[in-house]
Amino acid sequence: MNSTVIVKLMENLINKKFYKTKDEAIAKLDVYFAMNRISEEEYATLTLLAEETYAQEVL
């Protein structure tokens, strides 16, 4: 699976709040990043997306 597919998949999962918490989503991103499946830029973008998406729960 190349990084483009992983990024699209994670974008969809985060936007649909597939993970129960932001920490779960970021933990999955951590794995992809640690295994060099996504770049540092992609990791940062997806982490920000998770932060924004799951912050809406608090409001």
Domain extent for 12 = 3-55
Q: How does DSSP classify residue 11? A: H
As for how many domains the chain has, the answer is 1
Whole-angstrom Cα distance, residue 57 to residue 42? Answer: 24
Identity of residue 57: E
State the pLDDT confidence band at 2, using cuts at 50, 70 and 90. confident
Examine the pLDDT at 7 and tell me if it is beyond 90.
Answer: yes
Distance, CA of 5 to chain centre: 13
Examine the pLDDT at 10 and tell me if it is beyond 60.
Answer: yes
Query: Please, which residues have CB within 8 angstroms of residue 20's CB and are 6 or more apart in sequence?
Result: none
Examine the pLDDT at 57 and tell me if it is beyond 80.
Answer: no
Examine the pLDDT at 6 and tell me if it is beyond 80.
Answer: yes
pLDDT digits (tens, 9 = 90+) for 21-54: 999 999 999 999 999 999 999 999 999 999 999 9
H/E element, 49? helix 40-55
Nearest to 12 by CA among 55, 46, 51, 58: 46
